A and B are shown apart, each in its own frame.
Chain A
Amino acid sequence: MVTLRLNNLSTRYGHHEVVRDITTPTIPGGSLTAVIGPNAAGKSSLFRRIAGLANGQGEVEVGGVEYDRNTICYMPQDTGANAVLSVYESIILASKQGRGLKVSDQELIAIDQLLEDLDIMPLAHRNLGQLSGGQRQLVALAQTLIRSPKVLLMDEPTSALDLHRQMEVLGFMQRKAEETGMVVMIAIHDLNHALHYCAQALVIQDGRMQGYGTCQEIIDQSLLENVYRVRGHVELNSLGQRQLVLRGPLAHL
């Protein structure tokens, strides 16, 4: 199983310190870890710092695996692209970075398999510019997974998906993590999804880590009030699952 540990991780954006001294216990692979916090808390910056795309102090320790250029993969929030490339070509592109020009049959078979797994084979030969927001997110997921990452950092991967697709993708990632033992960190706003699909949660606010633990421990009334500034609580629903009950935003002080 792959593990990830962050030691005193910091990074700046201009003069502003957007990730401040984040140290975590060992984050286990094989299950999903939710990274939660309000907008502009520093989730994307933390991911970029872990992936080595942003400079700063501190260390990222990946355990249980040899380190190469695809060990840690960051899946950024989708911004759309108008390139004259098909979905299929864009996935080949992702898998071939830093490698030779020829594309082998093995590589294409792996792509076919992945498209099938993600249920997006019908999109394979569509142009990137013709995709809807949700389809683009699924393609972005394929572009990331084809690199067989050991630590996968997903920045709001389900924000443009309908409810059915959100649950499919999160369920898929949950199974994928179990099968491969990889570390999957997901920046996510839907705390009910976090409760349902993620084993651990890491809370970030103002660039600092406010807590880390199991989702059961972390997602509670005090998180809602102190981090999200909403009134609510967590209760067991009729299926025996923990679920958020929200009553409204806290009044501004």
Chain B
Amino acid sequence: MAKPMSANTEITTETSSGRHHYRAQTARRYALLGGLTLLLLLCLCIDLSTGPANFTLGEVIHTLLHPETAKAQLRVVIWEIRMPIALMAITVGAGLSVAGAQMQTILANPLASPFTLGVSAAAGFGAALALVLGVSIIPSMVEIMIPINAFIMAMLTALLIHAFSRMRGVTVETIVLLGIALVFTFNALLALLQYVASEQALAAVVFWTMGSLVKATWTKVAITAGALLIVLPFFIRHSWALTALRLGDAKAESMGVNVKGLRLRTMLFVSLLAAIPVSFVGSIGFIGLVGPHIARMLVGEDQRFFMPAAIICGALIMSATSIVSKILIPGAILPIGVITALVGVPFFFSLIFTQRKSAW
């Protein structure tokens, strides 16, 4: 090896600390991820225990571990009624959060998320299109058409944002303005659909615009989880490349990353992750914004840690919000989208005002 550029005796003592510090940091991150996972499991149990009939945590855990010996009422309420809703909260939170994390990464934009850039609104419109027009056309196919429609609309919107973001002179703020324009457009189109919708479809569309978990089923949970399982291997395989994007395009390219291809494929996967939750539980805002930011603060942006942290944080926030939605007004379940928006909007504002001053 070359001689050190200048003699510095202190460096010898720091040499070993380079990798030791890194190993210690890595261990802390694993511990943090483990801790967050435990917290998520705890949240899941509390979520299962709260509702019109409250159960103790002990009862919940016993029913989960030994359903065959649990009381029938407890088993039915926990496994058949509350479990799909609780798991839906987790999968939706995870999906939206990782979608937001990757949108922020590939657009180099801290304000990006499926909700703020109109991808969720587009998916909602696509879903409503299937419901309002699809109900009368092929009734048996509606269940499948809703997520497919949502995905197609979300994908087209994501591609539009992607194309726009590549234009010269486009800044972080202009992308957000485009997002706002897209949200308005799709909301207007949704209103138009509501105008022509049948009463039954109208009720479903209104329900969506608020975002609610109560119509979760095991099938919907499986599809949402399935979307994550399809997408995550791609993100894991490209962990280093996605992290490299955060060093800027020129540097990522010089490291051998196919920047254009990676960005495009990521955008397509993100639209899948954003579309599926919206088509099942409606418009749930800001999880895709708040989740990744908390993850980034906790573990930084090495995707090997950032992505799992974003997944767990998103799931945790949704699970906690699900609990809050049930206990805020006893006996009633508030639409979860309303709560996430109420918490998310101030967070979004604080990001707008602080993002220029510090690294995000």
Contact between B1 and A113, CB atoms less than 8 A apart: yes
A130 vs B239: C-alpha distance in the bound complex, in angstroms?
Answer: 24
Q: Quote the shortest CB–CB distance from A129 to chain B (angstroms).
A: 4
Cβ of A74: which chain B residues have Cβ within 8 Å of it? 254
Closest chain B residue to A100, Cβ basis: B240
Q: Quote the shortest CB–CB distance from B300 to chain A (angstroms).
A: 5
Contact between A83 and B8, CB atoms less than 8 A apart: no
5 nearest A-B pairs in the assembled complex, by CB-CB distance: A129-B359, A83-B246, A108-B19, A76-B250, A112-B18
Contact between A79 and B300, CB atoms less than 8 A apart: no
Residue A101 interfacial (CB < 8 Å): yes
Total count of chain B residues near the partner, CB < 8 A:
43
Cβ of A117: which chain B residues have Cβ within 8 Å of it? 1-5
Q: Quote the shortest CB–CB distance from B306 to chain A (angstroms).
A: 8
Contact between B2 and A172, CB atoms less than 8 A apart: yes
Chain A interface residues toward B at CB < 8 A: 51, 53, 69-70, 73-77, 79-86, 88-90, 92-94, 96-99, 101, 105, 108-109, 111-113, 115-119, 121-122, 124-125, 127-130, 140, 143-144, 147, 168-169, 171-172, 175-176, 179
Contact between B19 and A111, CB atoms less than 8 A apart: yes
Contact between A96 and B18, CB atoms less than 8 A apart: no
Contact with A along B258-284 (1 / 0, CB 8 A): 000000000000000000000000000
Q: Quote the shortest CB–CB distance from B269 to chain A (angstroms).
A: 19
Q: A76-B251, A143-B251 are in contact. Are A93 and B4 (CB under 8 A)?
A: no
A105 in complex: contacting residue of B3, B19, B297, B358, CB < 8 Å: B19
A93 in complex: contacting residue of B2, B11, B240, B359, CB < 8 Å: B240
Residue B39 interfacial (CB < 8 Å): no
Contact between A108 and B243, CB atoms less than 8 A apart: no
A169 vs B302: C-alpha distance in the bound complex, in angstroms?
Answer: 29
A147 vs B251: C-alpha distance in the bound complex, in angstroms?
Answer: 13
Q: A53-B253, A124-B14, A175-B2 are in contact. List 5 more A-B contacts (CB 8 A).
A: A80-B248, A94-B244, A101-B239, A105-B19, A117-B1
Contact with A along B6-29 (1 / 0, CB 8 A): 101001101110110111010000
Q: A84-B296, A98-B256, A175-B2 are in contact. Are A111 and B302 (CB under 8 A)?
A: no
Residue B257 interfacial (CB < 8 Å): yes
Cβ of B246: which chain A residues have Cβ within 8 Å of it? 81, 83, 85
Closest chain B residue to A180, Cβ basis: B2
Contact between B21 and A88, CB atoms less than 8 A apart: yes
Contact with A along B165-199 (1 / 0, CB 8 A): 00000000000000000000000000000000000
Contact between B14 and A121, CB atoms less than 8 A apart: yes
A83 in complex: contacting residue of B21, B256, B301, CB < 8 Å: B301
Residue B55 interfacial (CB < 8 Å): no
Contact between B255 and A94, CB atoms less than 8 A apart: yes
A97 in complex: contacting residue of B19, B21, B240, B301, CB < 8 Å: B240
Chain B interface residues toward A at CB < 8 A: 1-6, 8, 11-12, 14-16, 18-19, 21-23, 25, 236, 239-241, 243-244, 246-248, 250-251, 253-257, 296-297, 300-302, 304, 358-360
Cβ of B4: which chain A residues have Cβ within 8 Å of it? 116-117, 119
Q: Quote the shortest CB–CB distance from A136 to chain B (angstroms).
A: 10
Cβ of A93: which chain B residues have Cβ within 8 Å of it? 240, 243-244, 247, 255, 302
- Could you write out 5 A-B pairs with CB less than 8 Å apart? A81-B247, A83-B247, A117-B3, A121-B18, A179-B1
A73 vs B22: C-alpha distance in the bound complex, in angstroms?
Answer: 26
Cβ of A115: which chain B residues have Cβ within 8 Å of it? 15, 18
Closest chain B residue to A52, Cβ basis: B256
A69 in complex: contacting residue of B23, B240, B256, CB < 8 Å: B256
A69 vs B301: C-alpha distance in the bound complex, in angstroms?
Answer: 25
Closest chain A residue to B16, Cβ basis: A112
Cβ of A97: which chain B residues have Cβ within 8 Å of it? 240-241, 244, 255-257
Q: Quote the shortest CB–CB distance from A66 to chain B (angstroms).
A: 16
Q: A82-B359, A101-B239 are in contact. Are A51 and B254 (CB under 8 A)?
A: yes
Q: Quote the shortest CB–CB distance from B12 to chain A (angstroms).
A: 8
Closest chain B residue to A174, Cβ basis: B2
Q: Quote the shortest CB–CB distance from A78 to chain B (angstroms).
A: 8
Q: Quote the shortest CB–CB distance from B169 to chain A (angstroms).
A: 16
A93 vs B240: C-alpha distance in the bound complex, in angstroms?
Answer: 6
Q: Quote the shortest CB–CB distance from B238 to chain A (angstroms).
A: 10
Q: A97-B241, A97-B257 are in contact. Are A82 and B360 (CB under 8 A)?
A: yes
Cβ of B21: which chain A residues have Cβ within 8 Å of it? 88, 124-125
Cβ of B25: which chain A residues have Cβ within 8 Å of it? 125
Contact between A116 and B15, CB atoms less than 8 A apart: yes
Closest chain A residue to B7, Cβ basis: A119
Q: Quote the shortest CB–CB distance from A184 to chain B (angstroms).
A: 12
A113 vs B14: C-alpha distance in the bound complex, in angstroms?
Answer: 11
Closest chain B residue to A178, Cβ basis: B2
